[in-house]
Amino acid sequence: MASKTYRICTLPGDGIGPEIMAQAVKALEAIGRAYDVDFQCEEHLIGGCAIDATAAAGRTPTALPDETLEAARACDAVLLAAVGGPKWDGAAPGQARPEQGLLAIRKQLGLYLNLRPVRVYPALIDASPLRPERLKGVDLVIVRELTGGLYFGAHERKTDVAGAGADGRPGTFCRDTMEYSEYEIERVVRWAFEAARRRPSKRVASVDKANVLETSRLWREVAHRVAAEYPDVEETDVLVDNCSMQLVNNPAQFSVLVTENTFGDILSDEASMLSGSLGMLASASLGDGTALYEPSHGSAPDIAGRGIANPIAQLLSVELMLRYSFKMDDAADALAGAIDDVLADGWRTGDIADASTPADHRLGTDAMGDKVVEAFEARAAR
Ligand code: IPM
Ligand code: MG
């Protein structure tokens, strides 16, 4: 009997999801053995596969079945891979879409904050499209608001609206609304300041579009109010367009970036390229309910089923889960260290390989998972 038991709700989802989730489950088994913990993984449906399964069972098609949400609530953590794919892209307005499953689980679990740490791996400096000198000293974390803004404001679609078509003819009109309440801003901004306080570089960049948007002007007011409580942390306001330029021009200036939902979505994909690949960026969604961990990338339908996807962002999501949900910092350090070791030894999946990678060091998804587990076990045995 292991000394501790944790229940993990695993949601492989669509596309490359099941392939990379298999590596995470394998890693969890090894971590459990090394640290005397029984991780009980329970697999459930989310996204396109959930839409298909509910439809096949004669139920109303949904990307987040009730039983999945109930399991997520009952577990100690949720580990998700990815949702979506071309099969469901053509959904008509009002029909279920895979992404709704992800948005619904975030909302239903009250996960208002999404953390995306961006690290530069010395071994991968050449995999980044940026010049090595720009990457020196890069160590930042994006704190993205996750249950507000455009994603959750009122959406509307109207057809046959007078004048909405070309040449004054009737046409379609759509509206998405960016909405924020003070408390929604304050809780993520405060979290960012707390995190900055624990970092070597105590800086928070609050990202907004206050020169245009009212929600951003409120964001900035709240950021300043919270900043006044943290005199040891340096706060700067950065306009989002400027931020996206600074992220490639001088990314080392940032420590903690805090921003609203849509800006965070866009900036985090951009920032992932500092690590060399979107396949390296993990995330933790935290808030009121069971925390959820997932790679920041999508389901990569173009390479699904081929066994070539990079499982590292999924494994780094396990690392975040060990840290934030289970307070197993030693195990998290060993897993992160194992990934460093594997990369330093020159092992690469296709997305992070370059011309200098020998053919025998190019790995598929499963072999990369095995390498990380092997390196983890070597570290844990030390
Ligand atoms: C992400 C993804 C999701 C988002 C999509 C799949 C709905 O892009 O987690 O960044 O926009 O939040
Ligand atoms: Mg995204």
| Alpha carbons 84 and 102: distance in angstroms, whole number | 10
Query: What is the distance in A from the centroid of ligand 1 to the CA of 225?
Result: 29
Mean pLDDT of all residues belonging to the chain = 96
pLDDT per position as a tens digit, 243-295: 999 999 999 999 999 999 999 999 999 999 998 888 999 999 999 999 999 99
| Alpha carbons 258 and 271: distance in angstroms, whole number | 13
Percent of the chain topping pLDDT 90: 92
Q: How far is CA 187 from the centre of its chain?
A: 19
Q: Is the pLDDT of residue 141 over 80?
A: yes
pLDDT at 66: 98
318 in Cβ contact with 28 (< 8 Å)? yes
Q: Is the pLDDT of residue 1 over 80?
A: no
Helices (H), the chain: 17-35, 48-56, 66-74, 86-89, 98-108, 132-135, 182-197, 214-227, 240-249, 261-275, 312-324, 329-344, 365-381
| Alpha carbons 226 and 239: distance in angstroms, whole number | 18
pLDDT per position as a tens digit, 49-97: 999 999 999 999 999 999 999 999 999 999 999 999 999 999 998 899 9
pLDDT at 278: 87
Q: Which two tokens stand for residue 91?
A: 């959904």
Ligand 1, atom 10, lies closest to the CA of 265
> What is the mean pLDDT of the segment spanning 355-377?
97
pLDDT at 335: 98
pLDDT per position as a tens digit, 160-207: 999 999 999 999 999 999 999 999 999 999 999 999 999 999 999 999
pLDDT at 2: 81
Query: What is the distance in A from the centroid of ligand 2 to the CA of 242?
Result: 19
Ligand 1, atom 9, lies closest to the CA of 296
| Alpha carbons 286 and 264: distance in angstroms, whole number | 15
| Alpha carbons 126 and 352: distance in angstroms, whole number | 9
pLDDT at 128: 84
Ligand 1 binding pocket (C-beta < 6 A) is 84, 99, 102, 265, 296, 298
Percent of the chain topping pLDDT 70: 100
Q: Report residue 119's pLDDT band, with 50, 70 and 90 as the boundaries.
A: very high
> What is the mean pLDDT of the segment spanning 21-50?
98
Q: Report residue 149's pLDDT band, with 50, 70 and 90 as the boundaries.
A: very high
Query: What is the distance in A from the centroid of ligand 2 to the CA of 133?
Result: 27
pLDDT at 276: 84
Domains of the chain: 1-120+279-382 (3.40.718.10), 129-274 (3.40.718.10)
The amino acid at 145: E
pLDDT at 93: 84
The amino acid at 117: P
pLDDT at 46: 98
pLDDT at 122: 87
> What is the mean pLDDT of the segment spanning 145-149?
98
CA 238 vs CA 53, 211, 231, 244, 355: distances in Å: 45, 11, 19, 10, 37
Best residue among 99, 147, 266 to mutate for probing ligand 1, ranked by most atoms within 8 Å of CB: 99
Q: Report residue 381's pLDDT band, with 50, 70 and 90 as the boundaries.
A: confident
Residue 41 half-sphere exposure toward CB, CA atoms < 13 A: 17
pLDDT per position as a tens digit, 199-235: 999 999 999 999 999 999 999 999 999 999 999 999 9
DSSP line for 11-24: EEESTTHHHHHHHH
Q: Is 70 helix (H, G, I), strand (E, B) or coil?
A: helix
pLDDT at 255: 98
